[in-house]
Amino acid sequence: MRRMPSLTRSEATERAALITVTSMEVDLDLTGGDRDDHEEFGSRTTIRFTCNQPGATTFLDLRPAALESLVLNGSELDPASLRDGRVELADLAAENEVTVVATMRYSRDGQGLHRAVDPADGQHYVYGHLFLDAAPTVFACFDQPDLKAPYAVTVTAPEHWTVVGNGAAMSTAPGRWELAHTRPLATYFVTVCAGPWASVRSEHDGIPLGIHARASLREPLERQAEQMLEVTRASFDYYHRLFGIRYPFGEYHQVFVPEFNAGAMENPGCVTFRDTYVFRGAAARDEVLTRTNTIAHEMAHMWFGDLVTMRWWDDLWLNESFAEYMAHRTTVDATEFTEGWVDSTVARKMWGYAAERTPSTHPVAGGAALDAQAALQDFDGISYAKGAATLRQLIAHIGDHAFIAGVSAYLREHAYGNGTLADFLGFMERASGTDLGEWSKAWLLTAGLDVIAADQESGVVTREAPAAFPADRPHTLDVAGFTAGAEVFRVEATLTGPSAEVAALREAPRAELVVPNASDLTWATVALDPSTLQAVPQGLATLPDPQARAVVWAALVDGVCLGRVDPRVVVDTFGRAWPQEDNESVLNRVAGVLLGRLVPSFLPAEEEAGARAVVAQAAAELLDASEPGSTRALLGARVLARSSADEATLRPWAERSGLPAGLERDSDFRWLVVRNLAGHGLVDRDFIERVRRDDDTLSGRLGELTARAALPGEAKSWAWEQLTANRERSNYELNALAGGFWAGDDLETLRGFVPRYFADVPAMAQWVGADALGRVATLAYPSRVVEPATADASAEALAGDGLTPAVRRSVVDADSELREALRSRALFG
C-alpha cells in the first residue's frame, strides 16, 4: 500500500482561505456488510462550497478502493485525476457542487469504517472512526478541522441492523436510514455505527439518550446502563450550569464498539467507546471510575472540541487538556467518585510525567505540527494530563470565577467554528484582567517539568527547571508533614523563583514524612528528602490522606526512572504498604507499574523472581484481608494471578476450581491466570485452546492469542509470524500478540527477536494504519531484553529514515524507557 501524503499546515491554511464548505451530503451503502466475503461498501458524496477567487484551483481528499465518477459543476472529471489521495478541482466558480461516487474498503485497523465480527454469535458490526485523517477512506471531503459543514447522512444497511450517527436516525424503509441534518462538524467527527446493537434508551432534560453495544453484551450492558446514564445525566446538568450553554447536538448516543483504537471518541451526538468498558465480569471501583471519567471527558468535548474546534492540530490541547480537566472536576463534583483527583495522580499524571522524560517531549501548546500525521504523535500524556494540570495552575493564578467566565465567553464567540490558543488566552485575560503572556510562555509554550523539593529544617521549598527546557514556571502548591499516622502540618507555598522561604514550614512540628505538593495541585516531579525516603517503606501506609499517598507513589516511580531511587526501595514499600492501601486506584495502578515495568526492567534478571514473590505475597495478604467478593479482594486476586509462580495456586484457578468469591465464572480473570501459566511454560497450546473454546468471544480469542504468544520456545516463532506477517489480523489481535510476546524468562530465545523487531515492525506500515501501528510498535518493542545491544539497535534504527512518524515516536519513547532501566541497573546493581 502506497503511503499518501499528509496534509500540511500551509496547505490547510491556503485551502481554508480560498473555500467555505456550505453542505455535505453523504450516502453510504453497507449492503452485504453482514457477510464475511463483502469487503467493500459504496459511498456517494455531494459537497457544496463557495470559492472567493473564481477561476482558482484547490484539491479534494479521497482514498477509495475504486473511483466510479467525479462531477464538478455538471462536468465529468477523469477518475485518473485522483493521485495520492487527492483530486484537483480547477476553474472553480463562486458557487460549486462536486459529486463523487466511489467504492470504499472496510478497515481492520480501527481507522476509517472499521468492521468487526463477533465470534460469540457471528454478527457483524461497522463503525466510523475518522480521527485524525481517515475521513477520505469513507467519503470525499476537504479533510481539515477548520472546514466545518453541516452533514446530511443516509445509509443503506442489512435489514436487521440498527444505524446510529451524529444526527437522530430514522428508518424510512427496510434497511434504509436517514440521519437528521447536523450542525457544522469537522470531518473527523463524522461517524456511522451500524449493526444489530443491543440498546438501552432514556431521556434527560429533553435530550434523548441511547447506550448501545454488541448483541452478545446485552446482559452486562442492561445491568450497567443505569450507572452510565446516571453519570450522563449528572454531567449534562453540571456542564449546563457551568457554561450556561445547552448541549447543542440533538440526541446523545454512546456506542461501545469492538476493536476500538482509543478509549473513546467525541463524535457529536454519537460518542464511540471501546467496548471493554462494558465489563463482562467483575469490575473494581477504579475501573468504574475510569469509565465514569471517560463518559464525562467525552461529554465535555461536546462544548470544547465539538462546538468550538481547534483551527489546526497544534492547538490540540484546546480539546484534550480541557476535557481531561473537566472530566476529573465533574467526576469529583457531580458523581459518587469524589476521589477522582487521586485517580488522576496515579492513572494520568504518572503517564504524563513519563512522556516528559522522553526525547519526544513537547510543549502543551504551540508545537510545530507541520502536517496532520506529525500532529498525531502529540496525542500523549502531555496534551492530556499536563494540559489539565496546567489549567489547574491557571485557575490558581486567575481564580475559578474568571476561568469559567472566560471559557463561557470563548465558547459563545466561536460557537460552531474554530479557535486558537491566542483566542482562548484573550478571553482568559479579559475575564481576569491579567496579562497571561509570561504565564503562557512558561506553562504552555515550553516543554519539561520542574523538580520540587522541600527542606523542613530550613523552611525552603525549591524548584529546579530542566536544563534542556529552562522556564520560569510559577507553582502554587502545599507541603504536608506526617508522623505516626497523623498529619502534623500542611502549609501553602507559592514558588515564583528557584526557591522560597516558607516560615510556616520551618516553624511546623517536625515530621517523619514531608510531602511536597501533597494535594497534587501542580505539575512537577516531587523529590523526597533523604529522611522521608528512608521512612517511606514503613510509614507510607499510615498516611491518612490518599492524595498524599498517591503523590508519594508517583515520586517513588519517578525517582526510579530518574536514577534517584533504588527500585528495591519501591519493591520493599510495595510489600509493606500496598496490602494496607484502601484507595483502589492506587492499588490497581501501582501494581500495574510494578509488574508491567519496574520489576521486569529495572531489577537484574536474577532478582526478578524474588521481587515477584514480594508482590504475590502482598496480593495474597490483600485478598485474605478483604471481604470476599469485594473489589479490594478482586484486585488482590488479579495481582496474585499476574505475579505468582505457584502452580499449585494457579492451575486450579485455570481449571475454575477454588476461585475467590465472585470470580467463579469470570472469563477475563481466567485469562490472566492462563497467560501467567503460559509465560512460565506450565500450560501448552492444547490447554489454551480448550480455555478459548469455553470463551469463544472476541475477548476470548484475544486472550488465546496473548497466552499463545507468551509460551516459551518454538511458540515465539509462530507468534512473531502472526504479528508481523499475517495481514488478516485486526488491530486488537496485533495488540494481543504483541502484549504477550515478550512474557516469560526465556531471554535467550527472546534475544534473537530484537533485530527482527527493527526490520519487521516498521514494514507493517504497508498495511496497518498509523494510529494502530504506533500502539503495536510500543507493545512489541523488546523492552524485556534490557541490554546495551537493544539500545544500540534502537539507535541504529532511529539514525535511519525507514521509520514512519508513528513508529519512530514509539521507538523513541520505548528506547528512552530502556535507557532509564539500563542507567538504574548501572547505578544500583
pLDDT digit string, tens, across residues 50-103: 999 999 999 999 999 999 999 999 999 999 999 999 999 999 999 999 999 999
211 within a domain of the structure (yes/no): no
The H or E element containing residue 534 is helix 530-539
Q: Are 177 and 161 in contact (CB under 8 A)?
A: no
Decide if 43 is inside a domain: yes
> Is the predicted pLDDT of residue 179 greater than 90, yes or no?
yes
Confidence of residue 4 (pLDDT cuts 50, 70, 90): confident
Q: Give, for 51, the enclosing helix (H) or strand (E).
A: strand 40-51
Q: Between the CA of residue 148 and those of 138, 307, 423, what are the distances in Å?
A: 17, 11, 18
Domain carrying residue 767: 712-829
For residue 543, which phi and psi values (nearest 5 degrees)?
-60, 125
> Is 389 in the same domain as 514?
no
Residue 428 φ then ψ, to 5°? -65, -40
Q: CB neighbours (10 Å) of residue 178?
A: 19
Please confirm, yes or no, whether 796 is among the known catalytic residues. Answer: no
Whole-number average pLDDT of the chain: 96
Whether residues 44 and 131 fall in one domain? yes
**Model confidence over 268-316: pLDDT tens digits?**
999 999 999 999 999 999 999 999 999 999 999 999 999 999 999 988 8
Stretch 504-520: mean pLDDT, rounded?
97
Percent of the chain with pLDDT over 90: 95
Work out the pLDDT band at 334, boundaries 50, 70, 90.
Answer: very high
Same domain as 47, residue 183: yes
Which of 661, 655, 601, 667 lies closest to 633, judged by CA?
Answer: 661
- 20, 157: one domain: yes
| Co-location of 45 and 162 in the same domain | yes
400 shares its domain with 499: no
In a domain, 410, yes or no: yes
Using 50, 70 and 90 to split pLDDT, how confident is the model at 370?
confident
Question: For the ranges 131-140, 194-203, 372-381, 440-449, which has the lowest average pLDDT?
Answer: 372-381
Q: What is the 3-state secondary structure (H, E, C) of 261-281?
A: CCCEECCCCEEEEEHHHCCCC
**What pLDDT sits at residue 504?**
97
Residues 357 and 380 in one domain: yes
In total, how many domains does the chain have?
A: 5
CATH number of the domain to which 333 belongs:
1.10.390.10
Which of 809, 724, 797 has its CA nearest to residue 758? 797
In whole angstroms, how far apart are CA 254 and each of 277, 299, 422? 11, 10, 33
- Where residue 317 falls among pLDDT bands split at 50, 70, 90? confident
- The residue out of 645, 662, 688 marking a domain boundary is 645
pLDDT at position 82: 96
How confident is the model at residue 2, as a pLDDT?
A: 46
- Position 3 scores a pLDDT of 57
Mean pLDDT, residues 498-519: 97
pLDDT > 60? residue 46: yes
One domain, residues 144 and 29: yes
Please name the residue ranges forming H helices in 540-684. Answer: 546-561, 567-577, 584-593, 605-625, 631-643, 647-654, 667-679
Q: Where are the alpha helices (DSSP H) in 272-349?
A: 285-301, 317-334, 340-343
Q: Does residue 650 sit within a domain? A: no
Catalytic residue among 266, 287, 298, 820: 298
- Cα 739 from Cα 723, distance rounded (Å): 10
User: What is the model's pLDDT at position 1?
Assistant: 39
Residue-level pLDDT at 568: 98
393 and 538 together in one domain: no
Are the CB atoms for 488 and 505 separated by under 8 Å? Answer: no
For residues 337 and 317, membership in a common domain is answered with yes
Dihedral over Cα of 729, 732, 734, 739: its sign: negative
Percent of the chain with pLDDT over 70: 99
Final residue in a domain of this structure, among 165, 195, 225 = 195
Residue ending a domain, among 392, 410, 443, is 443
Query: CA torsion, points 799, 805, 807, 811, in degrees to nearest 10?
Result: 50
Residue 2: inside a domain, yes or no? Answer: no
Beta bridge partners of 162: 195
> Do 34 and 154 belong to one domain?
yes
Query: Quick one: pLDDT at residue 575?
Result: 98
Same domain, 602 and 750: no
Q: Is residue 463 part of a domain?
A: yes
pLDDT, residue 379, reads 78
Nine-digit cell string for 446: 515550553
Tell me if 205 is assigned to some domain.
no
Q: How confident is the model at residue 212 (pLDDT cuts 50, 70, 90)?
A: very high
CATH label of the domain that carries residue 111: 2.60.40.1730
Distance from C-alpha of 243 to C-alpha of 404, rounded to nearest angstrom: 7
Burial category of 645 from C-beta neighbours within 10 Å (exposed 0-12, middle 13-18, buried 19 and up): middle
Check residue 314 and report its DSSP letter: G
Q: What is the pLDDT of residue 368?
A: 66
- Residue 376 is predicted with a pLDDT of 73
In a domain, 773, yes or no: yes
pLDDT in tens, 728-770: 999 999 999 999 999 988 899 999 999 999 999 999 999 999 9
